[in-house]
Amino acid sequence: MARAELSADTLRLDAGRAVDEIAERLRDAVYKDLRRRGAVVGLSGGVDSSLVAHLCAHAFGPERVLGVLMPEGESAPDTLDLSRVSAEAAGVETVVEDITELLRAAGCYQRRDAAIRTVLPEYGEGWKAKIVLPSLLGGSRYSLFTVVAESPEGERREARLTATAYREVVAATNFKQRVRKMLEYYHADRLDYAVVGTPNRLEYDQGFFVKNGDGSADVKPIAHLYKTQVYQLAEEVGVPAVIRERPPTTDTYALEQSQEEFYFSVPFDKLDLCLYARNQGLPAEEAAAATGLDVELVERVYEDIERKRRGAEYLHAPPLLVAELDRRT
Amino acid sequence: MTSPETIEQEVRQFLKDNFPLSADGIDLGGEDSLIEVGVIDSTGVLELIGFIEERYEVEIADEEVLPENLDSIANITRFVGEKTAGSNGAG
């Protein structure tokens, strides 16, 4: 039988069935494998965590799910409201943990700002910044991490980061994801719940997460779903439209930053199809026809996928032992 | 002006000192792609730029950050040679 041509429809799921299968696997994982009695989900107001909260409510009943809302001083203004909207729609209880003071105590902001000032000396009080990775769509240049900063008067400045500054900015901002995970585990331990992670397939496969931060969880129920499938299931389970229609954001930097700007460089619906095509061993020509991208660009996306996978190996690696443990059970 | 042989030797030493994979016995050919072989990643490119700017006292513009200038030892040697030609350079 001839294989159907690759298109956006290729990734369409039988949504009702997919939701039931995930819920069943979640119950098995949490009750049988992990022996915990419910789920903690960190809610960001984004579509991934909203879908996970709904799936958990479906799997365990909303009374066995706790949504943790963890805004900080630089979160987008609508983050908290959207997180509440998604928790309400899922019917789950929430707690709010403002992490600003914890971050300040860890030196998150101060260390990051000092690193930015090494390339942008004028950056100071009242400025906002984000890190941007120029789009792969822009030509054959290497993608270089750039800091974009905005003064209190609204003036924008840009500077290429040095390797040291880049690493220091990332290391400091990673406190945000790690502090959030620490609080999720606090509530999980207190309630004897499991921490349910929210990465989708693009994030999980390509390493768009912080090790021991948002990359940490006891179970990751949507790590096999392409982002377009996340949207499809989100609609199926009733995630409110206001969340489904919001563009994906990292909500990590003070200046609004899309995931595309920071990490993926190509719109996620096109990246979904490229990743799928790559996984199926389809030629770049077929992915190009399905996405409307040039063949040459798809080949670069393929290379980028492999490069990010290599980078993600470290993020996925558990602690390595130098010798096998011999023990009987 | 630094000779191409010296540039190549210094670039090889820089890679060996800073990127564990290249230090670990990979015999890099002059034309091998540093990214494809897995010696450097996008942060590594920033590091390489920093090394070239500091060592050879040149400024690399964003438009020059291209694989044809930076993705192999041969390309880097040629690029640095061109950047330092006509200036006193370093070394």
CATH number of A11-116+166-253: 3.40.50.620
Q: What is the mean pLDDT of chain A?
A: 91
Question: For residue A61, is it left (φ>0), alpha (ψ between -120 and 50) or beta?
Answer: left
Q: Which range (A187-201, A208-222, A238-252, A260-274) has the least confidence? A: A260-274
Measured between alpha carbons, how far is A170 from A308 in angstroms, rounded to an integer? 16
Predicted pLDDT of residue A265: 67
CB neighbour list of residue A211: distance below 8 Å, 6 or more residues apart? A314, A315
pLDDT, mean of residues A236-245 = 96
pLDDT tens, position by position, A41-90: 999 999 999 999 999 999 999 999 999 999 999 998 888 999 999 999 99
pLDDT category of residue A91 using cuts at 50, 70 and 90: very high
**Residue B90 at interface with chain A, using a CB cutoff of 8 Å:** no
Question: For residue A77, is it left (φ>0), alpha (ψ between -120 and 50) or beta?
Answer: alpha
CA distance A259 to chain B (A): 17
Check CB contact under 8 Å for B46 and A162. yes
Contacts of A161 in chain B (CB under 8 A): 46
Which of B38, B47, B66 lies at the smallest CB-CB distance from A142? B66
Which of A143, A160, A310 lies at the smallest CB-CB distance from B38? A310
Q: What is the DSSP string of chain B?
A: ---HHHHHHHHHHHHHHH-HHHHTT----TT--HHHHTS--HHHHHHHHHHHHHHHT----GGG--HHHHSSHHHHHHHHHHHHTTS----
Q: Which residue of B has its CA nearest to A263?
A: B42
Of B40, B56, B37, nearest to B48 by C-alpha is B40
pLDDT, mean of residues A148-164 = 92
Is residue B34 predicted with pLDDT exceeding 90?
Answer: no
Predicted pLDDT of residue A235: 97
Q: Please give the order of strands across the beta sheet that includes A194-195.
A: A93-96, A65-69, A39-43, A194-195
CA distance B88 to chain A (A): 25
Is residue A297 predicted with pLDDT exceeding 70?
Answer: yes
Burial class (CB in 10 A: 0-12, 13-18, 19+), A13: middle
Predicted pLDDT of residue A205: 96
Residue A35 exposure: Cα atoms within 13 Å on the Cβ side = 0
**Residue B17 at interface with chain A, using a CB cutoff of 8 Å:** no
Asked whether residue B91 is assigned to any structural domain, the reply reads: no
Structural domains of chain B, count: 1
Tally DSSP H helices, then E strands, for chain A: 13, 7
Is residue A290 predicted with pLDDT exceeding 50?
Answer: yes
pLDDT category of residue B89 using cuts at 50, 70 and 90: very low
Measured between alpha carbons, how far is A70 from A67 in angstroms, rounded to an integer? 10
Asked whether residue B69 is assigned to any structural domain, the reply reads: yes
Which of B38, B47, B65 lies at the smallest CB-CB distance from A142? B65
**Residue B41 at interface with chain A, using a CB cutoff of 8 Å:** yes
CB A241 within 8 A of CB A20: no
pLDDT tens, position by position, A100-142: 999 999 999 999 999 999 999 999 888 998 888 765 555 556 7
Measured between alpha carbons, how far is A110 from A122 in angstroms, rounded to an integer? 15
Contacts of B66 in chain A (CB under 8 A): 140-142
Asked whether residue B45 is assigned to any structural domain, the reply reads: yes
Q: How far is CA A133 from the centre of its chain?
A: 16
Give me the domain span that covers residue B18.
Answer: 4-84
Q: Please give the order of strands across the beta sheet that includes A156-160.
A: A128-132, A146-150, A156-160
pLDDT category of residue B91 using cuts at 50, 70 and 90: very low
Interface of A to B at Cβ within 8 Å reads 133, 140-145, 160-164, 166-167, 303, 307, 310-311
Rounded to two decimals, what is the model's pTM? Answer: 0.88
pLDDT, mean of residues A27-46 = 97
pLDDT, mean of residues B50-79 = 92
Record the tokens describing residue A80, joined without a space: 């908290």
Predicted pLDDT of residue A80: 93
Cα distances (angstroms) measured from residue A111 to each of A130, A138, A148, A169: 15, 32, 17, 7
Supply the ipTM of this predicted assembly. Answer: 0.79
pLDDT tens, position by position, A175-216: 999 999 999 999 999 999 999 999 999 999 999 999 999 999
Contacts of A141 in chain B (CB under 8 A): 62-63, 65-66
Measured between alpha carbons, how far is A218 from A235 in angstroms, rounded to an integer? 25
Predicted pLDDT of residue A216: 97
Contacts of A162 in chain B (CB under 8 A): 46, 50
Count of A-B CB contacts under 8 Å: 44
Residue of B62, B69, B76, B79 for testing the chain A interface, max A β-carbons within 10 Å: B62
Q: Which range (B3-7, B38-42, B81-85) has the least confidence? A: B38-42
CATH number for the domain spanning B27: value is 1.10.1200.10
Contacts of A163 in chain B (CB under 8 A): 43-44, 46-47, 50
CA distance A236 to chain B (A): 38
CA distance A140 to chain B (A): 7
Predicted pLDDT of residue B17: 87
Record the tokens describing residue A267, joined without a space: 């719109």
- In chain A, the N- to C-terminal Cα span, in Å, equals 49
Asked whether residue B89 is assigned to any structural domain, the reply reads: no
Measured between alpha carbons, how far is A197 from A79 in angstroms, rounded to an integer? 18
Measured between alpha carbons, how far is A196 from A212 in angstroms, rounded to an integer? 14
* Strand positions, DSSP E, chain A: 39-43, 65-69, 93-96, 128-132, 146-150, 156-160, 194-195
pLDDT category of residue B90 using cuts at 50, 70 and 90: very low
Residue A106 amino acid letter: A
